[in-house]
Amino acid sequence: MSASPAQLAAALPQTQCRRCGYEDCEAYAQAIAHGEAEINRCPPGGAEGIERLARLSGRPPLPLDPSCGEEAPRALAVIDEAWCIGCTLCIQACPVDCIIGAPRQMHTVIDDQCTGCELCVLACPVDCIAMEPVTPGCTGWTAWSPAQADAARARYEFRQERLARERHEHETRLAERAAVPPRATLTQTTPGVNDAATPAAGSTVPSDDAARRRATIEAALARARAQREKHAPGS
């Protein structure tokens, strides 16, 4: 008999790295359970992980699909704080909320919570995050314990709940704002003056906050580029 999605999910490492091609470990477990995915797409679980999935699903073991990556020692994200521009993009990308920092301040990783998913590396606009192997000679489930997987899953689920709550609060604020009648000055259009500035009711034009954040990131990127050019060999 084939295992349930919950049983399959419990056999996955929960790094939430997306190397399997799915949004998270849960989505990959669902795909296996529904016969939509092979059992050999999880590099963090490695060969032992494939064996576990084979036993649970009743399918034969397969070699790891190389298009998903290689089975390798686990790595930790390390931020080069000298180059960090404090843009917070890594915080937004981290599936287990293990990066600490604030806008325009250097960021740092909580080592024992990092799953090695590498999603922050992809998000960093100034390439100041490196992945450093921390389990030399150990890969898959010899480099990652069931307790670590459980903790990573709990942190991921907590984050998902937080994001859902924040989305809901944001949508509520937008709906409340849309319900307020526009001010008289905005409804009386003056050709050439108000046309472009008057948002339609219910529109989701970028807020001042978003524009300010973008401007801050762009300014910080320009500063980082200038600094790199200054320190480049031969300059």
Binding residues (CB under 6 A) for ligand SF4: these are 12-13, 15-20, 22, 24-25, 28, 42, 44-45, 77, 79, 84-90, 93-94, 96, 98-99, 101, 107, 109, 114-120, 123-124, 126, 128-129
By beta-carbon proximity to ligand SF4, the closer residue of 67 and 181 is 67
Show Cβ contacts of residue 151 under 8 Å, excluding neighbours closer than 6 positions. Answer: 113
Cα–Cα distance measured from residue 7 to residue 33, given in angstroms and rounded to the nearest whole number:
9
For residue 198, what are its two tokens? 């008057």
Give least dist CB 23 to ligand SF4, A: 8
By beta-carbon proximity to ligand SF4, the closer residue of 28 and 141 is 28
By beta-carbon proximity to ligand SF4, the closer residue of 40 and 137 is 40
Length of the chain: 235
By beta-carbon proximity to ligand SF4, the closer residue of 81 and 169 is 81
Helix (H, G, I), strand (E, B) or coil at 122: helix
Give least dist CB 167 to ligand SF4, A: 20
By beta-carbon proximity to ligand SF4, the closer residue of 33 and 94 is 94
Selection from 78, 76, 46, 75 nearest residue 63 by Cα: 46
User: Do the beta carbons of residue 13 and residue 44 sit within 8 Å?
Assistant: yes
Give least dist CB 158 to ligand SF4, A: 14
Map tokens 């001042």 to a residue.
Answer: 208
By beta-carbon proximity to ligand SF4, the closer residue of 93 and 178 is 93
For residue 223, what are its two tokens? 């500063």
By beta-carbon proximity to ligand SF4, the closer residue of 110 and 164 is 110
For residue 61, what are its two tokens? 């073991």
Give least dist CB 232 to ligand SF4, A: 19
Selection from 77, 95, 90 nearest residue 19 by Cα: 95
Give least dist CB 147 to ligand SF4, A: 16
> Could you give phi then psi for residue 227, rounded to 5 degrees?
-65, -40
Give least dist CB 218 to ligand SF4, A: 13
Q: Virtual CA dihedral for 68, 152, 144, 35, nearest 10 degrees?
A: -40
DSSP state of 79: E
Give least dist CB 59 to ligand SF4, A: 16
Cα–Cα distance measured from residue 172 to residue 177, given in angstroms and rounded to the nearest whole number:
9
